[in-house]
């Protein structure tokens, strides 16, 4: 049996309708190799890795420095317990991460786990336990953004507000209060008409009703709210919803005034993706807790970090008999291979040349994707750093979406494969989010592939 046959017989894939996957005639792409921004399958076909292997890869596949760092660590040890022991690499990584937080007086501490969901779960538990141990037992509630996605564990799902994903689990999710996402393109308060060529954030006509809504929700229960949790600047799985500049800063100030902690989920936005090391830097916001994962290891290995202020950390200090320990952990916490990969990735990110490349590629991506505005079914083209989202609509003037059952985004991305691009849509939103190492010709190829695929699935009518 081929790997594809074995896969269809034995595996169960995430976020995948397995009936379609296993259908006779369905041929999964079997990736066997990668080099830089290129993925190669078992038939020898090459594709641009258009979504950085689900938003994880930064420096490309088989980067010599990343590979060497992993091999060197492998020659020493792959894994040992982080419970009651430490290792050579995790402390160094923690120091690097805290230095990146750019806040001397916050005395940040790093808690290591495995992936985005565990980083969020650890953050929620840290906040609840800290509130409890500080005698703030009334502060038990969380506020989060509508359509937020923070992962698939029970706590992370409780923060998310996706009716689609979470309906079967509603009986076990704990209640959190939802505030509207500040996403201008579909904001009910935005009175501006859609304009071709203009990101809705730049043409919006509103009075920051989204912030008023947040204020109202916070003021309903200011004394019982533990934290406000959000993906800053870009809400990924919601459809790359992008927030107007100024929202985060004002939201952070509102929380601080009310003694409500700010927990940022930078699982997707972290490590240069939006053009700054962290999206919160763009508005000089210092969170109380930040969750990092995905590209922490440059897309090589699962590793996550939940970073909390000294104020939160101190709530866990006490005599053993007080049982204030953070009773939470994972078998692979502090995994040395993951930490070695993360250190190598951060060293690469510190290189000025890499930072300049991110800026150049982001500019090129912006230039090239302007073409999409000429398609009648493109409602919005929005971009932050190296995240570009193209939202398809059935009607431009009313922003009416295509029905989800049409699988339009998926069909376009499937068509793009034959032009040498692999990427995954979010419903009707096409996403281009390449590794930073992508060359200009590869970037052009990715945009051209998506454009051709769009024209194939939704031909532009001859008027």
Ligand X SMILES: Cc1ncc(COP(=O)(O)O)c(C=O)c1O
Q: What is the DSSP string of 265-295?
A: E-TTTTTTTTSSSSGGGGGT---SEEEE-GG
Site for ligand X in 151-210 (CB under 6 A): 151
CB closer to ligand X out of 268 and 453: 268
Which residues in the 238-257 window bind ligand X by CB under 6 A?
none
Q: Is 264 helix (H, G, I), strand (E, B) or coil?
A: strand
Residue of 97, 229, 268, 342 interacting with ligand X (CB under 6 A): 268
* Distances, alpha carbon 22 to alpha carbons 28, 89, 274, 297, 423, in Å: 9, 42, 37, 32, 20
Q: Return the residue of 159, 214, 237, 365 that touches ligand X, per CB under 6 A.
A: 237
- Binds ligand X (CB under 6 A): choice among 159, 293, 422, 457: 293
Residues 99-138: x where in contact with ligand X by CB under 6 A, - otherwise, as a string: ----------------xxx--x------------------
N- to C-terminal Cα separation, the chain: 51
Q: Of the ranges 30-38, 263-271, 336-344, 424-432, which one interacts with ligand X (CB under 6 A)?
A: 263-271
Tell whether residue 150 is a contact of ligand X (CB under 6 A): yes
Rg (CA), the chain: 22
287 makes contact with ligand X (CB under 6 A): no
Q: Please identify, using beta-carbon distances, which residue of 267 and 458 lies nearer to ligand X.
A: 267
When binding is defined by CB under 6 A, the residue of 49, 121, 265, 283 that contacts ligand X is: 265
Token reading at 344: 């190598």
Instruction: Give dist(CA 430, CA 415) in Å, integer.
Output: 12
Residue from 108, 142, 149, 396 that binds ligand X (CB under 6 A)? 149
Our CB check for ligand X shows the closer of 279 and 315 to be: 279
Binding of ligand X by 292 (CB under 6 A): no
For the chain, how long is the longest CA-to-CA vector? Answer: 78
Do 115 and 304 contact (CB within 8 A), yes or no?
yes
Sheet holding 261-265, edge to edge: 109-113, 304-308, 289-292, 261-265, 225-230, 141-145, 177-179
Q: Which of 129, 184, 125 is nearest to 322 (CA)?
A: 129
* Number of helices followed by number of strands (H, E) in the chain: 16, 16
- Least distance in angstroms from the C-beta of 147 to ligand X: 11
Q: How far is the CB of 43 from ligand X (least distance, A)?
A: 28
- Minimum CB distance to ligand X, residue 449 (Å): 23
Segment interacting with ligand X (CB under 6 A) among 229-237, 346-354, 416-424, 442-450 = 229-237
Residue number closest to ligand X, CB atom: 116
Cα(365)–Cα(383) distance, rounded to whole angstroms?
A: 9
Q: Which of residues 331-390 bind ligand X (CB under 6 A)?
A: none
Q: For binding to ligand X (CB under 6 A), which residues are involved?
A: 115-117, 120, 149-151, 231, 236-237, 265, 267-268, 293-294
């Amino acid at each position: 049996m081929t790997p594809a046959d074995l896969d269809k017989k034995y595996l169960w894939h995430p976020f995948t309708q397995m009936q379609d996957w296993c259908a006779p005639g369905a041929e999964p792409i079997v990736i066997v190799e990668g080099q830089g921004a290129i993925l190669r399958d078992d038939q020898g076909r090459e594709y641009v890795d258009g979504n950085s292997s689900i938003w994880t890869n930064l420096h490309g596949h088989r980067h010599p420095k990343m590979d060497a760092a992993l091999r060197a660590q492998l020659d020493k040890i792959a894994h040992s317990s982080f419970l009651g022991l430490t290792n050579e690499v995790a402390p160094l990584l923690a120091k690097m991460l805290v230095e990146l937080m750019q806040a001397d007086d916050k005395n940040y501490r790093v808690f290591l786990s495995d992936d985005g969901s565990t980083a969020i779960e650890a953050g929620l538990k840290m906040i609840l336990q800290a509130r409890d141990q500080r005698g703030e037992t009334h502060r038990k509630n969380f506020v989060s953004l509508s359509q937020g996605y923070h992962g698939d564990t029970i706590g992370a799902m409780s923060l998310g507000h996706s009716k689609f994903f979470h309906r079967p689990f509603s009986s076990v999710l704990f209640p959190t209060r939802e505030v509207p996402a500040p996403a201008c393109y579909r904001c009910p308060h935005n009175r501006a008409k859609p304009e071709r060529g203009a990101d809705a954030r730049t043409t919006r006509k509103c009075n920051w009703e989204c912030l008023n809504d947040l204020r109202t929700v916070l003021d309903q229960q200011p004394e019982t709210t533990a934290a406000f949790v959000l993906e800053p600047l870009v809400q990924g799985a919601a459809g790359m919803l992008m927030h107007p500049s100024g929202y985060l800063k004002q939201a952070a100030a509102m929380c601080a005034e009310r003694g409500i902690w700010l927990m940022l989920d930078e699982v997707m936005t972290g490590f240069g993706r939006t053009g700054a090391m962290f999206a919160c830097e763009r508005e000089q916001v210092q969170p109380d807790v930040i969750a990092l994962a995905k590209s922490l290891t440059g897309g090589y290995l699962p590793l996550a970090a939940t970073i909390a202020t000294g104020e939160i950390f101190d709530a866990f200090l006490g005599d053993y008999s007080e049982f204030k320990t953070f009773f939470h952990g994972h078998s692979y916490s502090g995994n040395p291979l993951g930490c070695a990969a993360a250190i190598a990735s951060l060293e690469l990110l510190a290189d000025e040349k890499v930072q300049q490349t991110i800026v150049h590629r982001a500019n090129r991506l912006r230039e090239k994707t302007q073409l999409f505005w000429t398609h009648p079914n493109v409602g919005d083209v929005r971009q932050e750093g190296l995240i570009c989202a193209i939202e398809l609509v059935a009607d431009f003037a009313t922003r009416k979406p295509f029905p989800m059952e049409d699988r339009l985004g998926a069909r376009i991305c499937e068509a793009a494969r034959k032009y040498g691009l692999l990427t995954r849509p979010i419903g009707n939103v096409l996403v281009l989010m390449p590794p930073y190492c992508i060359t200009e010709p590869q970037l052009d190829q990715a945009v051209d592939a998506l454009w051709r695929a769009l024209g194939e699935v939704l031909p532009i009518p001859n008027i």
